[in-house]
């Protein structure tokens, strides 16, 4: 590395590569964690000296704070992992951020928003000691840097539903949402209910499918031929600009053996819009021929299609609000025992015009 390169441009992964150790080992050395071999400590220290890496002041701040003096900056960080800056104007991000802002206003804190993409580096707001606690928006797994935070540092994961993760989590009840959508369709007479998804590897969509399957199995009505699922994980983390082409999935449901499908559940509203396009090209009417339901209640999508889409509203803002309150409680009461609980927030169905009632609502 060029000796004239600024200290600020040297990152933890640079130190890890130079020392021949993992990023986590470097972070643990910087944060004073025990159970690190002396050999690895010396390797990391040498790499830091050679690269002129400047240890962020947050490491010293975090380990030196004393009970009763946790509030130092009055700031809470909201870090979006798996999302780069081009997500900043997305409705999902807006909903989460507004929930955090609402909680911060109520409790006298300020929110600092940061987008990390796929980076496993410690977020800048933590490295620079600018926050008293951290909210981590994560869905596909716990970021490595969370494991490297000092054990007493307040952190809550937003949107993560990972029972084995040793961190407090607040997430939407996606499995419950899938179950409730099936119950709704069943109550208005639908028995042949299909499910389509273009990214089943995403934990949020998988949970919704599991709820759908569980509800139908409970009614002894699950039929795997009515499931059109793409399990190829999408590697592009940028928001999609056009609805996915769902024609292949829709054609699979329409050609399934047995009685014809009467309702299609799409894993989110964006996919539901793709279902609309596919059904239109195949000459099928909504809801006259087939009913359609989505998830998220993305109002711009739901109200732009015709007929307007019935959707299960996922309370992203309430999830973030609840998570922010929890992290601020930890900031103000540092003696509180570390809580690794998982709190699920339930949503509600928003009926519009895309579902045909085949029977009057029943308590079935």
Architecture of domain 75-172+317-347: 3-Layer(aba) Sandwich (3.40)
d(CA 147, CA 119): 14
DSSP per residue, 117-136: ET--SPPHHHHTT--SEEEE
Q: Which residue did the predictor score with more confidence, 79 or 336? A: 79
191-195: average pLDDT: 99
**Tens digits of per-residue pLDDT, 61-83?**
444 444 444 567 889 999 998 77
* Mean pLDDT of the residues in the chain: 87
Please report, to the nearest 10 degrees, the dihedral formed by the alpha carbons of residues 270, 142, 121, 326 taken in order.
90
Q: How confident is the model at residue 26 (pLDDT cuts 50, 70, 90)?
A: confident
The Cα 290–Cα 256 span in angstroms is: 14
Phi, psi dihedrals of residue 135, rounded to the nearest 5°: -105, 130
pLDDT of residue 7 exceeding 60: no
CA 295/CA 348 separation, integer angstroms? 10
4 vs 167: which has the higher pLDDT: 167
pTM of the model: 0.79
Do 78 and 53 form a contact (C-beta atoms < 8 A)? no
Please check whether residue 348 is in contact with residue 312, taking contact to mean a CB–CB distance below 8 angstroms.
Answer: yes
pLDDT-derived band at 3 (thresholds 50, 70, 90) equals: very low
Model confidence band, residue 235 (pLDDT cutoffs 50, 70, 90): low
Check residue 38 and give its pLDDT. 85
Q: What is the mean pLDDT of residues 82-109?
A: 87
pLDDT at 65: 46
Binned at pLDDT 50, 70 and 90, residue 128 comes out as: confident
- The confidence score (pLDDT) of residue 334 equals 78
- Are 226 and 256 within 8 A, CB to CB? yes
The two three-digit tokens of residue 352, written as one number:
């519009």
- Matching fold, domains 75-172+317-347 and 174-313: yes
pLDDT of residue 209 exceeding 60: yes
Residue-wise pLDDT for 111-122, tens only, equals 999 988 766 778
**Cα–Cα distance, 48 to 94 (Å, whole number):** 39
Residue 105 has pLDDT above 70, yes or no: yes
Give 315's strand partners: none
More confident residue, 181 or 10: 181
Rounded distance, CA 120 to CA 38, Å?
24
Transcribe 230-291 into DSSP letters.
--------SPPSS----HHHHHHHHT-SSSPP-EEEESSHHHHHHHHHHHHHTT--TTTT-E
Integer Cα distance of 170 and 342 in angstroms = 6
- 174-313: which CATH architecture? 3-Layer(aba) Sandwich (3.40)
Q: What is the pLDDT of residue 12?
A: 76
Rounded distance, CA 146 to CA 167, Å?
Answer: 9
- Class of CATH domain 7-55: mainly alpha
Burial level of 268, CB count in 10 A (0-12/13-18/19+)? buried
Q: Which range (109-113, 125-129, 247-251) has the least confidence?
A: 125-129
Task: Average the pLDDT over 297-310 and give the result.
Answer: 97
Nearest by Cα to 216 from 241, 191, 198, 248: 191
Give the start-to-end residue ranges of the domains of the chain. 7-55, 75-172+317-347, 174-313
Whether the CB-CB separation of 90 and 113 falls below 8 Å is answered with no
Instruction: Say whether 176 sits in a helix, a strand or coil.
Output: helix
Spatial contact of 265 and 181, defined as CB atoms under 8 Å apart = yes
pLDDT, tens digit (0-9, with 9 covering 90-100), for 8-23? 467 777 888 899 988 7
**pLDDT tens digits for 130-177?**
999 999 998 888 888 888 888 889 999 999 999 888 899 999 999 999
Task: Determine the average pLDDT of the residues in 266-293.
Answer: 98
How many other C-beta atoms are found inside a 10 Å radius of the C-beta of residue 99?
26
pLDDT surpasses 70 at 180? yes
Residue 125 pLDDT > 50, yes or no?
A: yes
């Amino acid at each position: 590395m060029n000796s004239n390169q600024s200290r600020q441009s040297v990152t933890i992964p640079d130190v890890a590569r130079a020392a021949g150790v993992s990023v986590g080992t470097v972070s643990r050395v910087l944060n004073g964690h025990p159970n690190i071999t002396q050999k690895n400590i010396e390797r990391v220290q040498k790499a830091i000296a050679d690269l002129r890496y400047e240890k962020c002041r947050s490491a010293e701040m975090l380990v030196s704070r004393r009970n009763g003096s946790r509030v130092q900056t009055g700031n809470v960080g909201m870090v979006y992992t798996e999302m780069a800056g081009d997500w900043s104007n997305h409705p999902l991000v807006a909903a989460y951020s507004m929930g955090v802002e609402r909680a911060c206003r109520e409790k006298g804190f300020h929110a600092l928003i940061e987008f990390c993409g796929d980076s496993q580096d410690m977020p800048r707001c933590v490295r620079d000691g600018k926050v008293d606690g951290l909210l981590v928006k994560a869905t596909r797994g716990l970021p490595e840097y969370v494991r490297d935070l000092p054990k007493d540092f307040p952190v809550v994961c937003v949107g993560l539903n990972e029972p084995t993760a040793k961190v407090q989590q607040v997430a939407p009840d996606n499995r419950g949402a899938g179950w409730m959508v099936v119950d709704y369709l069943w109550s208005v007479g639908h028995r042949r209910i299909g499910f389509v998804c273009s990214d089943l590897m995403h934990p949020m969509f998988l949970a919704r499918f599991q709820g759908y399957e569980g509800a139908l199995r409970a009614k002894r009505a699950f039929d795997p031929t009515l499931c059109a699922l793409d399990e190829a994980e999408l590697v592009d983390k940028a928001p999609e600009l056009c609805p996915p082409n769902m024609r292949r999935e829709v054609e699979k449901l329409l050609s399934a053996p047995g009685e014809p499908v009467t309702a299609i559940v799409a894993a989110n509203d964006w996919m539901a819009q793709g279902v609309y396009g596919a059904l239109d090209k195949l000459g099928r009417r909504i809801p006259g021929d087939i009913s359609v339901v989505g998830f998220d209640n993305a109002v711009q999508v739901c109200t732009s299609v015709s007929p307007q889409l019935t959707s299960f509203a996922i309370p992203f803002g309430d999830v973030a609000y609840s998570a922010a309150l929890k992290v601020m409680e930890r900031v103000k009461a540092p003696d509180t025992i570390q809580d690794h609980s998982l709190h699920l927030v339930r949503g509600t169905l928003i009926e519009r015009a895309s579902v045909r009632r085949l029977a009057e609502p029943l308590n079935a």
